[in-house]
Amino acid sequence: MQMLMTMSGRACLALLLAGLAATGARAAGKDSGAMTPRFFVTEAFPPYTFMQAGQAAGPMVDVLQEVCIQLGWSCRIEVLPWRRALAMAERGQADGLFTLLDTPERRELFRASSPVLDGRYTLFARAGQAFSYTGAASLTGRQIGVYGPSGSSISLRALIDTLPSADAAQLVLEPDNLTVLRKLVSGRYGEDGLAFMNESVALWLLRENGLNGLQAAGVAKQFSYSFGLSRQRISEREFRRFNKALDELCRRGRTAELIRPYALPASPCAK
């Protein structure tokens, strides 16, 4: 009888310890984000993001997936039209959004990660046009095509708003970057019309679509692209873990290694 009670006690103790271990493992898994599903949205924005063999691809995708591996997250990325991707992220239907230009407007809804890729906004003019960008005043009296709503249109609007008169230059919002370039080539923005665009995107589109007759006419702004994590779905603590993993990836040289095949400039590692 005593042996039976002893065996029963040991069995209960074993079950209790097993239960505690399982609870601890679940807590640890939740704490570390292990295998936590995450959903990110982006747009077709070559050479930064694009579809390849039915999957999201590009340097931003490669870096994000590497960070997700480091965190133990299972990250799904969907490529959507930008307006839809942005609306979903703003409604809290996605954990994150990219590529994100860190602006005051975006900070209300997203926490911006450390910069990943550097870029620059450039003014484009029709070939042979006697225009060189020398500051906001040089845009006076011109129609300027820009894709938006986007980081590009926000940046151009901020530039135009520095002019003495609100109607000194006309911002023409277009549904995509290719439309901007085609309209500029055909003179739809007038003889003195311009386009405001990410230089790497513009050069890629010109090459891929065989468009000629344009020239770069000056750099308006240097900037960086980041990942935007939803304030509704990602806590401050989780964001800090994400950013730490991203920064460590950069310091180890892994970010530069992932970006190198795309011939794009990686941002300096955060201090």
Q: What is the pLDDT of residue 266?
A: 95
Q: What is the pLDDT of residue 101?
A: 87
d(CA 228, CA 230): 6
Characterize the bridge pairing of strands 170-174 and 143-147. parallel
> Which residues are within 8 A (CB) of 59 and not within 5 positions of it... i.e. 6 or more apart?
47, 48, 116, 117, 258, 259, 262, 264
d(CA 41, CA 267): 22
Residue 67 sits at the vertex; the CA angle it makes with 64 and 68, to the nearest 5 degrees, is 85
Out of 31-45, 146-160, 189-203, 238-252, least confident range: 31-45
Single pTM value for the model:
0.78
In 3D, which of 105, 197, 180 has the Cα closest to residue 145? 180
Out of 1-15, 120-134, 247-261, least confident range: 1-15
Q: Please, what are the domains in the chain?
A: 36-118+223-262 (3.40.190.10), 120-222 (3.40.190.10)
Q: What is the pLDDT of residues 214-268, one digit of tens each?
A: 999 999 999 999 999 999 999 999 999 999 999 999 999 999 999 999 999 999 9
Q: What is the pLDDT of residues 86-116, one digit of tens each?
A: 999 999 999 999 999 888 888 999 999 999 9
